[in-house]
Amino acid sequence: MPTSSPAPRVLGVAIPSPLRRLFDYRPAGTPPPGGWAPGVRVRVPFGRREVVGVIAECRATSELPPERLKPISACLDDAPLPADWLWLCRFTARYYQHPLGDTLHQALPVLLRQGRPLAARTRERWGATAAGRAPEPAALGRAPRQAALLAMLCQHPHGLATQAILAQSFGRDQLRALADKGLVERHEEPLTAPPLPDADHLLAEPALPLNREQASALAALHERLDAYHPCLLEGVTGSGKTEVYLQLIEAVVGRGRQALVLVPEIGLTPQTLARFRRRFRVPVVALHSGLTDHERLDAWEAAASGRASIVIGTRSAIFTPLARPGAIIVDEEHDTSYKQQDGLRYHARDLAVARAHRHAIPVLLGSATPSLESLAKADGGEWRHLPLTRRATRHAPARLELLDLRGRPRRGGLAPPALEAIREALSAGHQVLVFINRRGFAPTLACHACGWLAECEACDARLTLHRQPPLLACHHCDRRRALPDACPECSSIDLRPLGSGTERTEETLAEQFPDTPVHRIDRDSTRRRDAFEEVLAEVRRGAPCLLVGTQMLAKGHHLPHVTLVVVINADAGLYASDFRALEQGAQLLVQVAGRAGRASHPGRVLVQTLHPDDPHLRLLAERGYPALAARLLEERRAAALPPFRFLALLRLESPREESAVELGRRAAAALRDWLADRAPDVDCLGPVPAPMERRQGRYHLQLMLGAERRSRLHEACAWLTAWLEATPEARRVRWSLDIDPQTLS
């Protein structure tokens, strides 16, 4: 850190608080060795508490008079937190218009938020010194335990960890006595991620010889390893994208740099991780929800110090500091789990691109079904488009066959031709996947006498009927109710389930195919930690079976013995009101279809629908995702929707409808006044009720801002948040701003 500037008199500290401002303090105590600097954590008094904050500015003056500046309580770091991390947090706070203090807080591992030091946890190791290997007999004459300990250490050329020594019932005093005599010495080594082996010994298993398309994708990547180089790798499931990632990483790590790999929430399976660890001899650290706070800090530190060469993680791993960034890879870049839907509403894919730009490194986005945002960039030539059209393994991806549900009876959601196809596949000794994106037994319970429907008292939503265990549950607010014996309106006991969920389909399949095991995979059946992995392991053994599952099953998992996929109801996902529904519904269908026929048999995908003539669905079935995506892009352009326009959504919610409506109206009026003068090219829609107006007992309202130029939208949003912060009524209404919203709900 340059320390030529005079010591600052004021520290502007970012503190986890909803306010979009810094808080000023006076430096106190000994400055850190490198001087006060942005990125150093401090403990400060804040209201009646003490909190951990991060210095964001060092200044000579404050708006507060000097006597009102409180001193900091303690400085927590010898050196600033990593500069690349601090840059990314500042960028994120600015782009998503989120308070910097809260952004920094969320982007830190829990232990660092609490003020723990950022240092590798080490372990002690003891080894014999040269003197210890040939001890003077007199040195140990009257200490047989010391002699035994020394003899043991002499047998271990690399020494032994303290834990291992104590486990042999030696004591610390014996170690100390030997150390005082100069016979043994102590080393410290980091707990995780030992240092890099040399570049010649990087691979633990040889890379696969690439096919032509893979090779030209890799060659394109090799061309520009030292520059910002955004690439979209569009390849059907099984086309060998992961192999391209692995070989890009090989090049990056071979040059002494680090690779950051982002995967969707449900994509970081033990298999995925094992594949990376099998290939490389270098340390691979994984960041996922199963880590303890200590493990998370260790992984963060190993990445920040550069000891970890490969970092793999889900969404929040984008905030991992890297000492020597070399490339960022985003697998399944279209996946909605990359967008955080509350608090700091960031998109990890978009931040990955911004970060790669900052570091001047390649960023590789991979998907079988790219987002329209990414396709538009690739089509426009802004990003490089690298297609993989063929499967690396034998079979072409399965086609979607539409199955007309109109006028057909259904059992557990399945029409007779679907049941017939399942019977055929099972008798050929294959496995079948039935996809239904609704958990529970049935979407609701209805009274056949009066038409009453079970509804949530806190949300504008029906209650889902569950049988295992029996209850009614709201999937929006988690309220639960016992099953009624009779209709609460007319007392009739003719209450019937309406529609099908995973439990009902499971029940039907078990009845229809009594000799075949049925495995249900949804959030309810996999609550126990390992339950999901156990079923997958069973399925991979290959005996004929039926799988019923939600999107947990649709993505990422290799199910080599599945040759038939049945989609119970394509319409539910495709025709929702959201403008992204078609895009996301189609991506999900293609991902589900990608499960079929990966190994030795071609696959078949039956898609049940009430709208077999719908032009979008037909386009998808007949010409595939790229054709549908091209059509959707045209429609988005015509409708002036993203990616051809930038949106921001202000959400307002309150237990009192009037409060939310009143604030929404005032905010919209104030904003429109400002826009008329300052930014007539930004438009403001609403306030309008959210698609689900009442949720968890609160009213939800929204205001939408749109602009053709991103900078204009940001100016308007900055003004709006400032207005809201300065308006007393806004304190009684919960509000949040969502830049680039992925859903309008």
Contacts with ligand ADP by CB under 6 A lie at: 208-211, 214, 235, 237-243, 392-393
Nearest CA among 283, 355, 297 for reference residue 326: 355
Give the binding range for Zn ion (CB under 5 A) out of 168-176, 381-389, 455-463, 516-524: 455-463
- Residue 492 binds which one of Zn ion, ligand ADP, none, with CB within 5 to 8 A depending on kind? Zn ion
Nearer to ligand ADP, 233 or 442 (CB): 233
Q: Find out whether the peptide bond into 687 is cis, omega within 30 degrees of 0.
A: yes
Q: Find, among 643, 648, 564, 629, the residue nearest to 598 by Cα.
A: 564
Calpha distance 537→137 (Å, rounded): 59
Q: Which of Zn ion, ligand ADP, none sits in contact with 95, Cβ below 5 to 8 A by type?
A: none
CA distance 268 to 246: 15
For 403, residues 6+ apart whose C-beta sits below 8 A from its C-beta are: 415, 417, 418, 606, 607, 608, 609, 612
Per the document, the length of the chain is 745
How many other CB atoms sit within 10 Å of the CB of residue 717? 21
Q: How far is the CB of 331 from ligand ADP (least distance, A)?
A: 8
> C-beta of 682: minimal distance to Zn ion in Å?
35
Residue of 477, 483, 552, 630 interacting with Zn ion (CB under 5 A)? 477
Q: Which one-letter DSSP state was computed for residue 697?
A: T
Q: Confirm or reject binding of residue 498 to Zn ion (CB under 5 A).
A: no
| Residue of 247, 252, 246 lying closest to 224 (CA atoms) | 252
Choose from Zn ion, ligand ADP, none: what does 632 bind? Cβ within 5-8 Å by kind. Answer: none
Q: CB of 704: closest distance to Zn ion in angstroms?
A: 25
Cβ(467)–Cβ(492) below 8 Å? no
Please count the CA atoms within 13 angstroms of the CA of 533 that sit on its side-chain side: 9
- Choices 119-127, 195-203, 356-364, 471-479 (CB under 5 A): range interacting with Zn ion: 471-479
Find the shortest distance in angstroms from Cβ 462 to Zn ion.
9
CA distance 708 to 696: 35
CA distance from start to end of the chain = 46
Residue 458 in the binding site for Zn ion (CB under 5 A): yes
Using DSSP bridges, classify how beta strands 734-739 and 646-654 pair: parallel, antiparallel or unpaired.
antiparallel
Compare residues 86 and 244 and give the one whose CB is closer to ligand ADP. 244
Nearest in space to 653 (alpha carbons), one of 734, 721, 741, 743: 734
**Is residue 488 close enough to count as binding Zn ion by CB under 5 A?**
no
CA distance 248 to 535: 33
**Smallest separation (angstroms) from ligand ADP to the CB of 616:** 25
- Tell me whether residue 98 or residue 694 sits nearer to Zn ion (CB atom): 694
Could you say which residues in the range 202-221 bind Zn ion, by CB under 5 A? none
Question: If binding is defined by CB under 5 A, does position 446 make contact with Zn ion?
Answer: no
Strand partners, 217: none
Q: Pick the closest to residue 241 from 266, 224, 221 (CA basis).
A: 221
492 binds Zn ion (CB under 5 A): yes
Contact of 120 with 194, CB cutoff 8 Å: no
Closest CB 458 distance from Zn ion, rounded Å: 4
Q: Is 449 in the site for Zn ion (CB under 5 A)?
A: yes
**Amino acid in position 730:** A
From the CB of 456, what's the least distance to Zn ion, in Å? 3
Kindly tell me which of 331 and 503 has the beta carbon lying closer to ligand ADP: 331
Nearest distance from C-beta of residue 279 to ligand ADP, angstroms: 11
Q: What's the min distance (Å) between Cβ of 479 and Zn ion?
A: 5
Partners of 185 in the β-ladder: 127
* Chosen from ligand ADP, Zn ion, none, partner binding at 490 (C-beta under 5 to 8 Å by type): Zn ion
**Cβ 598 to ligand ADP, closest distance in Å?**
8
What gap in Å lies between CA 714 and CA 623, rounded to an integer?
38
Nearest-angstrom CA–CA distance, 684 and 681 = 10
Given the complex with ligand ADP, which of 275 and 423 has the nearer CB atom?
275
CA pseudo-torsion sign 50, 56, 61, 62:
negative
Residue 168 or 389: which CB sits closer to ligand ADP?
389
Asked if residue 450 binds Zn ion (CB under 5 A), the reply is: yes
Q: Which residue among 178, 252, 356, 459 contacts Zn ion (CB under 5 A)?
A: 459
51, 86, 262, 487: which one binds Zn ion (CB under 5 A):
487
Q: 161 touches which of ligand ADP, Zn ion, none (CB within 5 to 8 A by kind)?
A: none
Q: Among 474, 547, 568, 703, indicate the residue that binds Zn ion (CB under 5 A).
A: 474
Stretch that binds Zn ion, among 63-71, 278-286, 317-325, 451-459 (CB under 5 A): 451-459
CA-CA-CA-CA torsion sign (514, 518, 523, 528): positive
Closest distance between ligand ADP and the C-beta of residue 325, in Å? 23
- Look at residues 164, 94, 91 and name the one whose alpha carbon lies nearest to residue 127: 164
Report the partner that residue 166 touches, choosing among ligand ADP, Zn ion, none (CB closer than 5 to 8 A by kind): none
Residues that bind Zn ion (CB under 5 A): 447, 449-450, 452, 456, 458-459, 474, 476-477, 479, 487, 489-490, 492
